[in-house]
Structure 1
Amino acid sequence: MMPSGPRPDDGHDKEFMITLAKGLAVLSAFGKQRPAMTLSDAAAVANLSRATARRVLRTLTQLGYVVQDGRAFSLTPRVLELGFAYLTGQDWIDRALPMMKELSEQLGESCSGSILQGVEIVYVARVPARRIMSTALAVGSRLPAFHTSLGRAQLGYLDGAEIWRRLRSAPIEAYTPYTITDMQALFDRVRADREQGFSIVDEELERGLRSIAVPVLDRTGQAVGAINLSAHSTRTTRNEMREKFLPELKAIAQRISQAPQPIS
């Protein structure tokens, strides 16, 4: 999803720091598709003026988050500190990862963990087995929440009004012939998945990709993340996922939720 500059209504909040928002917009503009950008590129992608983009890039360069090589700017490894600071606060990930690795080895399939962020999921743990997607996934990768099992497993824990708000702001497109694009159908699927306690997405995001996910809950019963298993549709049926994969995923999620350390 393409980053954008501060929203027009942000100025209504007197506590809102528009300068900080502009800096974050430039930082988030970098990525796999744009590992390096010129000043003009950054201004266009972050929806800022060239003068503002220049000040932001100079500041980020002096702080050590960006490096300049000729006309091109790129991120430095220091930006990892921001992500690691978040991950260290999500202690459920550390508890889940060894169990996810063991499960991936046992079943020979990829196991992943994610958190929900707006209308996307962000991968926070990843144990790949075989490459089953055309795009390689890693920690930090993002996918559309409404079209992934990891996303639907978490979206169901929002109230109905919030689910609709996110649905209306999400770019709904047909990734495959099986993608659900009707908003009411997506809403109903999210609610149904919450009722049954798991989500299966069958070739909706990519042909051949089938996955099943369960939510990771905190002690108040709210979803703090989700874990899933993914397989190629030629190797595993939906029924096999329910019978073979689901009990294992539920067992891991329950062990994480019942661990003595607090989930934050």
Structure 2
Amino acid sequence: MQEQARARRKRSGAQAKDKPQTGEDRLFVEALSRGFKVLEAFSQAPRPMSLAEIASISGIDKSGVQRIVHTLVQLGYLDKQQEGAALGRKLLDRSFDYLRSNPIIQQAVPVLADLRRTVQERVDLSLFDDLTMHYVVRMQSKRDTFYAHLVGRRVPTFCSSGGRSVLSHLPDDQVMDILLRSDRRKLTPRTTVEIDQILARIEEVRTSGYSLAIEEVLVGEVAVAAAVLDRSGVPIGAIHVAGSLAEWAPDDFVARAGPLVSAAAAGLRQF
């Protein structure tokens, strides 16, 4: 019975998070919302799409999609291609605006650059967004993988090194709420998905001050992270250092990166 209750809470919490409360909100602009649904459809299919495909993903009728796509093409947020509509470069302008206007990112970049020079491995900054951690700065190592270069990528809070470092600074009831609402599927064979094991990992972080993840998000990767806190001690993000298991034994990597990433994160506690 308890597990069923938790499942119901997970479903209802996820619905509350994903579904805008528009019924009595007179300020909510439904037409604008439909435009963003069209843009968000491309997260499901990162390629040019036909109007029919966009309509199927967005839940908007085809004639409505046609008008919205035409408008977004005129504004530069979509490109019209032979295969259909594709995301336009003007979206990058808005991403640039966000990155340059965020004070956390402004203050973090020199700290991350110094950490990158010291550890000679990939260094990232992610921001806490409930069920996910959102990468906003990525400084590369000598290894190249496509997704490791991209800002804007999201990874689950429950299994990432940065996510568990953030969870270690939250109250137990908030941690449990996040875990119950998370889609705890395995990203790799080594992803920890059982709640009791995740809670044990979080307790380890509360003792050490940093979080370790071995092949939980990416096969062959070991990552250490520490939470970035605001002036009130509330976690707002995390600094990660990631290395290759082909070059590092986990214990050696932790011994090298753990104290450095903790010091870097502590240096940002001013927001």
TM-score, length-scaled by structure 2: 0.81
- Select which of 117, 123, 128 maps to 1:116: 128
Q: Alpha carbon RMSD of aligned pairs, Å?
A: 2.7
1:10 aligns with 2:21: yes
- Counterpart CA distance in 2 for 1:167 and 1:132 is 32
1:27 aligns with 2:34: no
> Is the partner of 2:236 in helix, strand or coil?
strand
- Counterpart CA distance in 2 for 1:13 and 1:157 is 35
Cα 1:157–1:50 change in 2 (3 A) is: farther
> Is the partner of 1:247 in helix, strand or coil?
helix
Equivalent runs, 1:51-66 vs 2, <5 Å: 51-66=63-78
In the other structure, the counterpart of 2:141 is 129
In the other structure, the counterpart of 2:221 is 209
- Select which of 100, 123, 139 maps to 1:88: 100
Cα 1:76–1:133 change in 2 (3 A) is: closer
Alignment length (residue pairs): 255
Verify the 8 A CA contact 1:64 1:76 in the aligned structure 2.
yes
Verify the 8 A CA contact 2:48 2:81 in the aligned structure 1.
no
| Cα deviation, residue 109, structure 1 | 0.9
State the AA in 1 paired with 2:153. Answer: S
Cα 1:29–1:116 change in 2 (3 A) is: farther
Structure 1, gaps ≥5 residues long: none
- Counterpart CA distance in 2 for 1:224 and 1:8 is 24
- Select which of 36, 55, 76 maps to 2:88: 76
Cα 1:75–1:231 change in 2 (3 A) is: same
Verify the 8 A CA contact 1:132 1:209 in the aligned structure 2.
no
- Select which of 188, 198, 207 maps to 1:186: 198
State the AA in 1 paired with 2:93. Answer: E
* 25-34 or 123-132, larger mean C-alpha shift: 25-34
Verify the 8 A CA contact 1:132 1:232 in the aligned structure 2.
no
State the AA in 2 paired with 1:54. Answer: Q
State the AA in 2 paired with 1:205. Answer: V
| Cα deviation, residue 13, structure 1 | 4.4
1:218 aligns with 2:241: no
| Cα deviation, residue 167, structure 1 | 2.5
The percentage of aligned residue pairs carrying the same residue is 26
CA deviation map 1:71-107 (0-9, x unaligned): 6112222112322232223222222223322322332
State the AA in 1 paired with 2:213. Answer: V
CA deviation map 1:167-189 (0-9, x unaligned): 23322222333221213332443
> Is the partner of 1:123 in helix, strand or coil?
strand
- Counterpart CA distance in 2 for 1:215 and 1:225 is 6
> Is the partner of 2:46 in helix, strand or coil?
coil
- Counterpart CA distance in 1 for 2:36 and 2:22 is 16
TM-score, length-scaled by structure 1: 0.83
- Select which of 177, 181, 185 maps to 1:169: 181
> Is the partner of 1:224 in helix, strand or coil?
strand
Verify the 8 A CA contact 1:66 1:74 in the aligned structure 2.
yes
In the other structure, the counterpart of 2:3 is none
- Counterpart CA distance in 2 for 1:126 and 1:164 is 29
In the other structure, the counterpart of 2:12 is none
Shift >4 Å, 4+ stretches? 6-9, 132-135
Cα 1:150–1:8 change in 2 (3 A) is: closer
State the AA in 2 paired with 1:95. Answer: Q
| Cα deviation, residue 233, structure 1 | 1.8
State the AA in 2 paired with 1:111. Answer: V
Verify the 8 A CA contact 1:133 1:209 in the aligned structure 2.
no
